Structure 1
């Protein structure tokens, strides 16, 4: 077995990262299955003991989610309606064991095209915070994810937090995904939609799709088409062609590109319809 270190502080963790390559471990729900029962032969830096990397807190600029915050933490924490999509994703990530151990930061570092946490965060204009001994930097989540299992995290950096700006906390959101079954399966397509409205018209729309392209993507053309519509008519503004053009969907063993494009468009329409039909029983659209 390779070296194993469980630091007691972020300072200690960053010092270790500066000494050479370490594989980061948080919940282990991606790392251990990938090894298929084999003993770990590489150096492991276990972040699970760093309480400072876990938790959700309001800031002057929005909301801060520690990278080691678990899916179960996200599901049970009172959050603004704009993050309902993230909470809905949290209860569909694997089973209860995975939700209890798995972390949001680990989901982003693993960088699967079908990572459940990414579409809801993209819909809220999330940023990531990265730290190393050289300092701390922030970048948009859309820039951080560069391809399947690829990110801009440097070898000596630790993802410490996910940051949601105040502008991303307006309105309400919905998350839907499609797979061969409801749970414990890699998605064929998933969507997150966030809407804010005023005087019965949509003023802000964010639409993101995962599991269809090399990375999850926002759909600016679809978002623009939704602006100004009454919420109950928004689904009629979603054109399959706009969705397909934005995604350039991929073919694989789970689904064809054509099926993915059609499925993503239908999921977006369903999410919009769900938001419109539930609006009367939830907080005002423009409030967080």
Structure 2
């Protein structure tokens, strides 16, 4: 079923199935509305206009669930849905990022997928999702296709979505949900702030305290958040207890921060090093508590 109503000057369609959403998009481009926390602020005091596709009524897209091979985050799932979900500790970094998204009211409405499709360089969800090797599920008239998150976001406000397509879900491979994780965000205040830098970290540590696998991602310091391959190589197969000392500025050369009103490029690089060190120290503390228990 779908409904077409007049919302001021807007051509507004609300659907309750993915099939109906794809059929609607096949007729022409539309702004997709889920939580609305990006769409409505951009209006300021103007009325809603243009062609709108509301997917908030598609119940199947509003969940976070495990299917045996992947964890799936639906396109209409809110940050609050994620925060409340029973997921492995590897999602702790993503949950920490979720608690940094706007206010509690925003978290209750805003969707994880909307955060990605908005494609801001400072999108809180992207760094932790990169450490989880997230894949984007894209639906169109031809069926489904999948892209790594790193290939989906192409630049500032640019994605790989084609005509007649929408993101239906995120997929996180079960193999990428091992270990522990964390997230830190640096801004001018604690809430309702655009990041100066942010770091996400996922670690697999053996019983002797050696890092056997590691994923690190930095956001707000490039047009697109990046996995830090050189840093990961430097940390892998080393002792977690001394890992923070291995975090040096030369391992962050893949970043391309800018000078703006929030911080200089040089400060962003320095901050990225520091919050990564702090994340490692935090994970060392968590590991030590687990051993003691």
Aligned ranges 1:1-288 → 2 under 5 Å? 1-198=9-206, 199-243=208-252, 245-282=253-290
RCO higher in structure (CA 8 A, sep ≥6) = 1
Say which SS state the counterpart of residue 50 (structure 2) adopts.
Answer: coil
Q: Which runs of structure 1 show a deviation greater than 4 angstroms over 4 or more consecutive aligned residues?
A: none
Check 1:137–1:282 CA distance in 2 against 1; reply closer, same or farther (3 A cut). Answer: farther
CA distance in 2, matches of 1:34, 1:232: 46
Say which SS state the counterpart of residue 3 (structure 1) adopts.
Answer: strand
CA contact under 8 A between 1:62 and 1:169: conserved in structure 2?
Answer: no
- Cα RMSD (Å): 1.3
CA distance in 1, matches of 2:291, 2:27: 50
Say which SS state the counterpart of residue 122 (structure 2) adopts.
Answer: coil
CA distance in 2, matches of 1:18, 1:136: 14
Normalising by structure 2, report the TM-score: 0.94
Structure 2 alignment gaps of length 5 or more: 1-8
Structure 1 alignment gaps of length 5 or more: none
CA distance in 2, matches of 1:9, 1:250: 42
CA contact under 8 A between 1:235 and 1:269: conserved in structure 2?
Answer: yes
Q: State the partner residue of 2:5.
A: none
Normalising by structure 1, report the TM-score: 0.96
The alpha carbon displacement at 1:37 in A equals 2.3
CA contact under 8 A between 2:78 and 2:107: conserved in structure 1?
Answer: yes
CA deviation string 1:4-62 (max 9, x = no partner): 01012111110000000100001011111112121122111011000111111112223
Check 1:35–1:143 CA distance in 2 against 1; reply closer, same or farther (3 A cut). Answer: same
CA deviation string 1:227-253 (max 9, x = no partner): 11111111011111211x111222222
The alpha carbon displacement at 1:280 in A equals 3.5
The alpha carbon displacement at 1:225 in A equals 0.5
CA distance in 1, matches of 2:58, 2:270: 43
Say which SS state the counterpart of residue 247 (structure 1) adopts.
Answer: coil
CA contact under 8 A between 1:122 and 1:142: conserved in structure 2?
Answer: yes
CA deviation string 1:158-191 (max 9, x = no partner): 1011111122101100000001101001111011
CA contact under 8 A between 2:209 and 2:241: conserved in structure 1?
Answer: no
CA distance in 2, matches of 1:258, 1:221: 19
Check 1:220–1:163 CA distance in 2 against 1; reply closer, same or farther (3 A cut). Answer: same
